[in-house]
Every structure is written in C-alpha cells, then in structure tokens.
Amino acid sequence: MKKQLLAYYGLKWNPFLLDIPVESLWHTPQIDNFIFNLENMDGGFALITGEPGLGKSKILQLIAHKFNQFDDVIVGVMERPQSSISDFYREMGSLFGVNLSIFNRYGGFKDLRNRWKNHAKTTLFRPVFLIDEAQEMLTGCLNELRLLTSIDFDSSNLLTTIICGDTRLPERFQARSLISLGSRIRHRLYLEPYTREKLLDYLEHSLNQAGAPGLMSKNLMNTLVEHSAGNHRVLNNMAAELLFAGFKQELSQLGEKLFFEIFSRTQK
C-alpha cells in the first residue's frame, strides 16, 4: 500500500511521516543559528525546549547529522533518559566505548573523563552527547552528568551536551536541586507554536523535497495551517490522513473539499 501510494502521487517518500531523510528536514534561521553556536562551543550545556509536537527531536536529528559529518567526532545519543544512576553509567560506557563496572563507579568516572580528554586532543572537538526526553531524567543523573563533564574547577567541559525536552525542563532548572546545572546552560532554543507563514513554508518545503509540489491545493494548505494550532505534529497527522484518503478515492490532487469531508465526519 505504501509503495502504491508513493507511486500514485509521484512521491519519493511520505512527507508527513517520521522517516524523512535528514537532509530534507525543514529548519528555520533560528535553528540554523543554534546549531552554529553548538559547532563553536568549547564544550558545555545547551538546551532545546518546547511543547510536544514542535519538532524538538527532528532538531536533534539535524544536530547529530551535522556533527557526524566531522571526521572521528563521537556523537552519543541517550536511549533511556529515565535510568537510575547505575544504568546511566552503563549507558555512558556503552556510548563512549568504555568498559564500566557498577561496583567501581569512581573508576568508571575516571575512565570516561580520560576517554573524552583523549578524544578532544585527537579530533580538536569535544564528544557530543544528545539527550531527548530529558524531562524524564532523575535529578541525581543530571547532577552526575554536570560533575562528570566538568574539569579544572569548572573552567572547562569535556562534553558538548544538548539537553532536549518539554517545558518542564526550564522549570526543573529553577529548583534548588538543579539550579547549578541550569546556570551552566550556554545556549537555549525555546520553540513556540509556529506562525501561519512558517507552517506554510514548512508545507511547501516538505512537498517540494518529497517531489510533489502540486500535491495539495493552496486552499487546502491554508486550511491545514489554520487548523493545526501552530503545531507540526498536528499538521502532519491531518495531512497524512488526507493523503491516504485521497489515494483511496483516486484523487489527482488533495483539496479543501476532502479536508471538510474527512474531518467533519470524524468530529461527529
């Protein structure tokens, strides 16, 4: 069905699903500036935050792709942010190629720091550590990360760490238990609901990159944007449903009539 749908509309991929090639992801000048700042950081912490559905994880994809283009730079991506401190160390060892023993946490602490120091000497880049859904991290793990990556009386940092999560994160960093880490965040990217103009630009970009700029009528694009509440995910979910419905009805182009037919039916 997927192959038939793509062939019918001449699409290289479904522009409204998650598996879009990273090279074709939409990004704003604000996002580009944030990534530029990360490239020029000598280690330390950065923060991406916003309500669900605004594209935070896609920005992490862009960051990972950018740093993976540099020779020999290690990019570690945390898969289980809700881990205990013991599991946190296990995952850090796995990501950065260090054999750690849960019975010798201090030894693991030293081995990780030495690994990062040697990496920076060899590549002139700090390793990059990406944490998605970081609002789920235990306070103890976040503070362990701060202490683990800091050297020379906090005058230098061994990692470039990008912490990404919803709007609970800035609130947590104001609490006494995490204010020390919050004060060390050097660059912040706060995502807000997108304007009508930006979402239209996003739609046009997505359709062009997927190879079907005429897939939707202008009226439908405007209607989708008006009903998306400034949210990427809401927009993509509606557009994906319309694409499938249009394929079933063998429509050559998706129009505003299809939108009201589908979504007036689902609201009854």
User: Tokens 């010798």 map to which residue?
Assistant: 104
Tens of pLDDT, residues 14-31: 999 999 999 999 999 999
**Per the structure block, which two tokens stand in for 157?**
């940092």
User: Tokens 């319309």 map to which residue?
Assistant: 242
Phi, psi at residue 128, to the nearest 5°?
A: -110, 135
Q: Minimum mean pLDDT among 101-105, 166-170, 189-193, 232-236: which range?
A: 101-105
Domain boundaries, the chain: 2-23+194-266, 41-191
Tens of pLDDT, residues 76-129: 999 999 999 989 999 999 999 888 776 777 788 898 999 999 888 888 889 999
Q: Minimum mean pLDDT among 120-124, 175-179, 241-245: which range?
A: 120-124
User: Tokens 């693991």 map to which residue?
Assistant: 108
The reply to whether domains 2-23+194-266 and 41-191 share a CATH topology is: no
Architecture of the domain spanning 41-191: 3-Layer(aba) Sandwich (3.40)
More confident residue, 185 or 154: 185
The candidate with the shortest Cα–Cα distance to 157, out of 78, 45, 247, is 45
The identity of residue 20, as a single letter, is: I
Topology of domain 2-23+194-266 in CATH is: Helicase, Ruva Protein; domain 3 (1.10.8)
**Per the structure block, which two tokens stand in for 52?**
């669900």
Which residues touch 45 (CB under 8 Å, ≥6 apart)?
146, 157, 161, 162, 163, 181, 184, 185, 186
